[in-house]
Structure formats: C-alpha cells, structure tokens
Amino acid sequence: MSNLMEIWHSISAIVTTSDWLTLVIAAVVVIVAGILMESYNGIVTTTVLALIGFAILTYVRAVTLGGQNAMSFANTDWHSFLAITMLTLIAYSIMFAILILVVHSIRSALR
C-alpha cells in the first residue's frame, strides 16, 4: 500500500508544482492522443508516444518562449532525462494513460 501512496504523491506533486503552460501542453497532448487512439488495446503505445510528444513540446517551449540556446538546452534536457527517477516516470505514465483512457472513452461514447 505504501508504494501506491508514493506513486499518488508523485502524481500530486507533478500536478501541483507544474506551471500552467506545462499543464496546458500536457492536456493538449492527452486530448490529441485520446482522440487518435483507435482502441483500448493501443494504450501502452499511445502513452509512450504521448510522453515523447510532451517531452518534445516542452523542449520547443523552452527554446522558443524561454529563449534557451537549442544545443545547450538539448544537452541539459538529455542529462535531466537520464537522471529522472523511476517513480517520476511511472507517475507520468500512469497519469497520461488514465487521462488518455478517459478522453478515449468520452470520444467512444459520443460516437
């Protein structure tokens, strides 16, 4: 039970400590992924692709709006990715997967 609470606290920390633009980017990625997913069988692939899309869009945001140097920020971003904890990666994956399933369920119900 304590492992589930650790994951829940990680998800809560991600949502409460992110800035609004990051949450908007995540919401757009989740909505697009949920709409484009063909069936529930593709949730793992869709989640992985959504996480990759989220990473690319946050990188583009940092380079364009943040005024970061593209090459140095890519190097910094890569090292940050290598240092990410498994708990954080699981929290992002679970959060994206559940939200994608919700969007896909709504889309399927409206069809």
Question: Pick from 53, 57, 79, 75: which is nearest to 66 by CA?
Answer: 57
List pLDDT tens digits, range 45-70.
999 999 999 999 999 998 888 887 88
Q: How far is CA 69 from CA 34, 72, 87, 98, 102, in A?
A: 33, 6, 29, 34, 37
Mean pLDDT across the stretch 29-37? 96
- The DSSP letter of residue 41 is G
Residue 88 pLDDT class (50, 70, 90 cuts) = very high
Distance of alpha carbon 47 from alpha carbon 33, whole angstroms: 8
**What is the per-residue pLDDT for 50?**
97
Residue 12 has pLDDT above 90, yes or no: yes
Residue 30 has pLDDT above 80, yes or no: yes
Average pLDDT, the chain: 92
Model-level pTM? 0.89
Tokens 């959504």 correspond to what residue?
Answer: 50
Distance of alpha carbon 107 from alpha carbon 38, whole angstroms: 10
